[in-house]
Chain A
């Protein structure tokens, strides 16, 4: 298959994912409840705790990129469940009977997760504005955040899809999703800086893709300090590529 048609196939899958959101946007709104609670309740209470070294910025400013990344991670990690669900229904069976290569299907679904992440981002940034969290919002910072979110969504959706052929049932995937996301969230710089962590947790945070994503978005939205942005993007690109390759390899076993 030519590269152009390969990419077109992947984008087609993402396009129809978006059309589904257009027909029924309720899940986009429902998925906002949790980040809204984090920002409004957790953020408000923890602003009173002066012990978190958020530098010259308020705690809410500090945590907004973290909550944004967390919510994208939650959306993406459940793509594996969607894949298992579609396999159980038979939709996947049908999709695999087309000439579209397996890896293009993985890529298409990963892009869908990334695009869904953008919806989350727009809404969470909206909430942040409503509760008056000062953010550096410019065309470039927002586009940068979107680009990082798309990559991050693709990364975690691929991780989830690579696990689907192994764990096979929706229930197990649900458990695995939680078993991955919560530890990664707490072992990252999302709601407290890495400098506050004990040594062993710091070691995990350093290899945690979430830390790089939060760091990059924090630079774009809050600090304006782009010193480590290059490293962040590179780490994210590496993790995303690795996950897509892994998912493509694993996906061959999804029907057996």
Chain B
């Protein structure tokens, strides 16, 4: 354990990936929560697991943090074998669980102080370290107040502060922006990016929010029913769905014929527009935003007026649909978590 403390923050990063998971399996009495998952996370990246509620994301993060033991498979975090030396991994990791992890009956400062002691921070540097973290998270002015008086966004920031107290080499966040309003969500995203760029923290997040995965992650693994279906950067993943969809409406007769003549065959089954099925066309293109001006120009040259144009970029939801045959059912887990949070605040008040 002590040797791990020594080389955690300051030491040079080892060659090779930071997290290596191979053939990971976790069985529960009635269900296989994680089913043969393998992936690697390189240094200095924000890696996300994207999947619906119950896909096995939280189980995976708990396995990585050595909170539970796998049924089969191997995990190495920062070169440490999770089964052999779990405490060493916990010492260099920070964890922001999906549920509440700060105590409402203590002040913000005390919540962090407690964890600084549990991680064995030396007494001499404790106060400075805590002050720095509170400052980074912009919580200094409320640090002396009981946490039950905090807003949801502040509680989340405090939870992140608490997870940073040991200067973790790896930070694990389970649904970091769940239940937060859009403003607070952006603050958390910016913060996570700052941690990666300024402290060099490796960030591992779980999310069911495809916008969050898209905005935040360098690479994403899509998890469905305990299986990892694909891994890649958001751009790579979206490219696998085919490209952008451009839909156009025009009153011109034989609109489809004109498009075909320009080399853009409309897709079948595009549906109806204000000028009937014949006046509505959808074409599959790459870099749609750059194509629109020359395409409209060319159509005008042929005497075809276009009334409306819209561009639909593929989303990670489309990627999810392609690989799993279903859409991510957003909503359930989100509402649930927010309810827990509210209940908590009400009960400790």
Contact = CB atoms under 8 A, between A and B. Distances in A.
B90 A93 contact: no
Count chain B CB atoms within 10 A of each CB in A19, A20, A98 and give the residue with the most: A98
A172 B179 CA distance: 30
B126 to A, nearest CB: 12
A91 B103 contact: yes
Contacts of B28: 256
A13 B68 CA distance: 22
Interface in B61-111: 62, 65, 67-68, 87-88, 90-91, 93, 95, 97-103, 105-107, 110
Contact of B100 (A1, A13, A90, A99): A90
A89 B105 CA distance: 13
B231 interface: no
B101 A93 contact: yes
Count chain A CB atoms within 10 A of each CB in B2, B91, B117 and give the residue with the most: B117
Contacts of B118: 9, 12-13, 95, 98-100
Given A20-B105, A89-B99, A96 B87 contact: no
A2 B49 CA distance: 36
Interface in B251-305: none
Interface residues of A, number: 27
Nearest to B89: A99
A232 B62 CA distance: 44
Interface in B330-349: 340, 344
A100 to B, nearest CB: 5
A96 B68 CA distance: 10
B97 A20 contact: no
A234 to B, nearest CB: 33
Given A96-B67, A99-B90, 14 more contacts: A5-B120, A9-B120, A20-B106, A23-B146, A90-B100, A90-B101, A91-B101, A93-B97, A93-B101, A94-B95, A99-B120, A100-B118, A101-B87, A256-B28
A65 B97 CA distance: 45
Given A16-B114, A23-B146, A97 B65 contact: yes
Interface of B: 1-2, 28, 62, 65, 67-68, 87-88, 90-91, 93, 95, 97-103, 105-107, 110, 114-115, 117-120, 146, 162, 340, 344
Give the interface SS of chain B, mostly helix, strand, loop or mixed.
mixed
Contacts of A19: 106, 110
Interface string A1-25: 1100100110011011001100110
21 contacts: A5-B120, A9-B117, A15-B114, A16-B106, A19-B110, A20-B105, A23-B105, A23-B106, A23-B107, A23-B146, A24-B105, A89-B344, A90-B101, A91-B100, A91-B101, A93-B67, A95-B118, A99-B88, A99-B119, A255-B62, A256-B28
A97 B105 contact: no
B95 A12 contact: no
Nearest to A85: B347
B62 to A, nearest CB: 8
The 4 closest A-B pairs by CB, nearest first: A90-B99, A94-B101, A97-B95, A12-B117
Interface of A: 1-2, 5, 8-9, 12-13, 15-16, 19-20, 23-24, 89-91, 93-101, 255-256
B114 A12 contact: yes
Contact of B87 (A1, A20, A255): A1
Given A20-B105, A99-B119, A90 B114 contact: no
A205 to B, nearest CB: 38
B106 A97 contact: no
Contact of A97 (B67, B102, B117, B344): B67
Contacts of B91: 99
B81 to A, nearest CB: 16
Nearest to A105: B118
A5 B121 CA distance: 11
A9 B110 CA distance: 15
Nearest to B29: A256
A8 B117 contact: yes
A15 B90 CA distance: 22
B137 to A, nearest CB: 17
Nearest to A93: B97
A20 B348 CA distance: 12
Contact of B68 (A2, A8, A89, A256): A256
